[in-house]
């Protein structure tokens, strides 16, 4: 096998390569569900007569959740190119398809960006001029936190993510037709180095702008990394679930137990990484005990937010740590599927915990508005991903290293 690197490991006619019509019903159903859920959320939001406050907060949680999957995928694909990874080639197309949701995510950000542009300061308090200039510290931050610069930054982030993700997908797909294009991959690998640096900056600043600035007085230098940890967890869980679903339909059969094992290892590793980052943030703030920093945790240990905080320690770290520790779980389809779903749910709880204390103090709640926003955005992006997958190979058959990926085994 290894002696013939240019021979395609999968033939173009392999029936497991393309989704075909199996996802058509799912695409239509998910798209319809997404539209209905988002319309319901919009109606619920408008009927609350709170200047869209509750709607925007609930929508932001759901948006941060779907955004984390897209960004996680884009980071992951960049990483695979950067380190010239072989094991992951059979699942790389799935990552490229998920990452290419970036332009759609830009559109779906509009319900948050447009009210902000129009001067609505229910979500981002820094939109309020009077507030910003009545407080000395906020006055100093006004040069960064203002509507004009915010809009420019959003355009930069989503513009870069859209271009980079489409670029990676287009290069990869063009290689499917032409197997003798090793140079193509090398150019992508070269571009991945600055691409990775750009990912680090855009994810960090997007997390600061979209999430941390909800409380414009508070700051934490590790905040971007915290959100990034959630992105990586989310994308691995989503890749596991999509692959399992495709395989139940007889597609993407090139992915073996060994690849699931590796996806599980990444899921486990970043669960630990998340806990490491979360605790690093907590301990420094706890130890220094400076009022301007402790405000963040004061909000989250009062009322029933305290219970959510405890739940995150147990549900986002302790349980998945021991649950995913064993290799047998990571190599077991049901075991890995369970923990993938679990991590996606606790990731939502984590984002809810980050965002919603700014909506209402002392009182954590999850209602119909939160649910419809979440279901709506998740369904729309799942539909978009499946629709994009149609007509494309689910595995980059033109990649010269594909046979090495298919034969991959953990020691």
Partner 1 sequence: MSDSSGVSNQEPSLPSGDVPLFGVLAEYSTPQQLLAASRVVRDAGYTRWDTYTPFPVHGIDGAMGIRPTILPWIVLGAGLTGVAAGVALQWATNAFDYRWIVSGKPFWSIPANIPITFELMVLFSALTALVGMLVLNGLPHPSHPLDLKQRFLRVTDDKFFLVIQADDPSFKLEMARELLAGTSPVVVETVDEDRVTSDRLPRPLVLGLMLLVVAAAVPFGLAAKARASTSREPRFHVVPDMDFQPKMKADRANPLFDDQRATRAQVDGTVAAGELHENTAFWTGRVDGVLVTSFPEESPTSEAAVTRGRERFGVYCAPCHGLVGRGDGMVSKRAELLAEGTWTPPSDLQQDYIRTMPVGQLFETITNGVRTMPAYGPQIPAADRWNIVLYVRALQRSRATSSSDLPASQRDSLK
Binding residues for partner 1, per CB under 8 A?
1-2, 279, 282-283, 286-287, 289, 291, 325, 327, 408-411
At closest approach, how far in Å is the CB of 257 from partner 1?
11
> Measuring CA to CA, which residue among 71, 258, 76, 96 is closest to residue 175?
96
Closest separation in Å from C-beta 261 to partner 1: 12
When the beta carbons of 181 and 280 are compared against partner 1, the nearer one is 280
**Residues 201/76/308/294 CA torsion (nearest 10 deg):** -20
Q: Decide: helix, strand or coil at residue 178.
A: coil
Report, in Å, the least distance between residue 286 CB and partner 1. 5
3-state secondary structure at position 185: helix
Residue 311 vs 408, nearer CB to partner 1: 408
Of 160 and 282, nearer to partner 1 (C-beta) is 282
Q: Which two tokens stand for residue 279?
A: 């605790």
DSSP track, 374-385:
HHHHHHHHHHHH
Residue 134 DSSP label: H
Nearest to 202 by CA among 75, 60, 377: 75
Instruction: Considering the complex, state which of residue 128 and residue 258 has its C-beta at the smaller distance from partner 1.
Output: 258
The residue (of 207 and 285) whose beta carbon lies closer to partner 1 is: 285
CB 72, min distance to partner 1, A: 26
**φ, ψ at 378 (rounded to 5°):** -60, -45
Decide: residue 34, CB within 10 A, 0-12 exposed, 13-18 middle, 19+ buried: buried
Nearer to partner 1, 68 or 88 (CB): 88
CA 83 from chain center: how many Å?
21
Q: Which lies closer to partner 1 via its Cβ, residue 1 or residue 368?
A: 1
Collapsing DSSP to helix, strand or coil, 325 comes out as helix
Scanning 178-290, the segments in alpha helix (DSSP H) are 182-210, 223-248, 257-288
- From 3, 105, 43, select the one nearest 385 (Cα to Cα): 105
Smallest distance, partner 1 to C-beta of residue 136, A: 13
User: For partner 1, which is the closer residue by CB, 279 or 338?
Assistant: 279
Least separation in angstroms between residue 401's CB and partner 1 is 14
What single-letter DSSP state applies at residue 154? H
How deeply is 260 buried, as exposed, middle or buried, from its count of CB atoms within 10 A (0-12, 13-18, 19+)? Answer: buried
> How many alpha carbons lie under 13 Å from residue 397 in its C-beta half-sphere?
19
Instruction: Find the shortest distance in angstroms from Cβ 149 to partner 1.
Output: 31
Closest distance to partner 1 from the beta carbon of 279 (Å): 6
Q: What is d(CA 334, CA 37) in angstroms, rounded to the nearest whole number?
A: 29
What burial letters (b/e) apply to 2-16, b meaning 16+ CB within 10 Å? eeeeeebbbeeebeb
Residue whose CB is less far from partner 1, 133 or 249: 133
Min dist. Cβ of residue 222 to partner 1 (A): 15
């Amino acid at each position: 096998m290894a002696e013939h690197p240019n021979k395609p490991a999968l033939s173009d006619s392999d029936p497991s390569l393309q989704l075909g019509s199996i996802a058509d019903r799912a695409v239509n159903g998910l798209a319809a569900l997404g539209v209905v859920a988002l319309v319901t959320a919009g109606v619920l939001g408008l009927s609350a007569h709170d200047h869209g406050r509750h709607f925007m907060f609930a929508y932001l949680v759901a948006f941060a959740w779907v955004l984390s999957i897209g960004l996680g995928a884009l980071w992951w694909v960049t990483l695979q190119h950067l380190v010239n990874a072989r094991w992951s080639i059979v699942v790389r197309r799935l990552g490229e398809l998920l990452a290419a949701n970036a332009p759609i995510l830009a559109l779906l950000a509009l319900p948050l960006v447009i009210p902000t542009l129009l001067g609505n300061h229910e979500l981002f308090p820094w939109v309020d001029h009077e507030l910003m200039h009545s407080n000395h510290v906020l006055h100093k931050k006004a040069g960064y936190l203002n509507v004009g610069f915010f809009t420019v930054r959003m355009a930069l982030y989503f513009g870069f993510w859209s271009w980079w993700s489409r670029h990676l997908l287009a290069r990869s797909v063009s290689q499917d037709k032409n197997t003798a294009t090793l140079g193509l991959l090398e150019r992508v690998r070269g571009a991945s180095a600055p691409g990775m640096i750009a990912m680090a900056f855009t994810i960090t600043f997007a997390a600061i702008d979209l999430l941390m600035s909800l409380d414009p007085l508070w700051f934490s230098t590790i905040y971007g990394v915290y959100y990034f940890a959630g992105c990586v967890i989310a994308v691995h869980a989503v890749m596991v679930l999509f692959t399992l679903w495709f395989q139940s339909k007889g597609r993407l059969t090139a992915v073996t137990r060994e690849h699931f094992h590796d996806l599980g290892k990444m899921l486990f590793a970043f669960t630990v990484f998340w806990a490491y980052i979360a605790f690093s943030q907590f301990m420094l703030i706890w130890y220094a005990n400076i009022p301007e920093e402790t405000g963040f945790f004061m909000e989250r240990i009062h009322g029933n937010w305290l219970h959510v905080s405890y739940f995150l320690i147990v549900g986002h770290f302790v349980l998945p740590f021991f649950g995913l520790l064993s290799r047998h779980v990571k190599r077991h389809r049901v075991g890995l599927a369970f923990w993938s779903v679990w991590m996606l749910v606790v990731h939502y709880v984590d984002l809810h915990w980050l965002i919603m204390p700014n909506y209402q103090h002392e009182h954590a709640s999850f209602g119909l508005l939160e649910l419809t926003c979440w279901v709506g955005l998740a369904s729309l992006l799942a539909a978009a991903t499946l629709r994009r997958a149609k007509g494309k190979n689910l595995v980059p058959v033109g990649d010269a290293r594909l046979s090495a990926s298919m034969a991959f085994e953990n020691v």
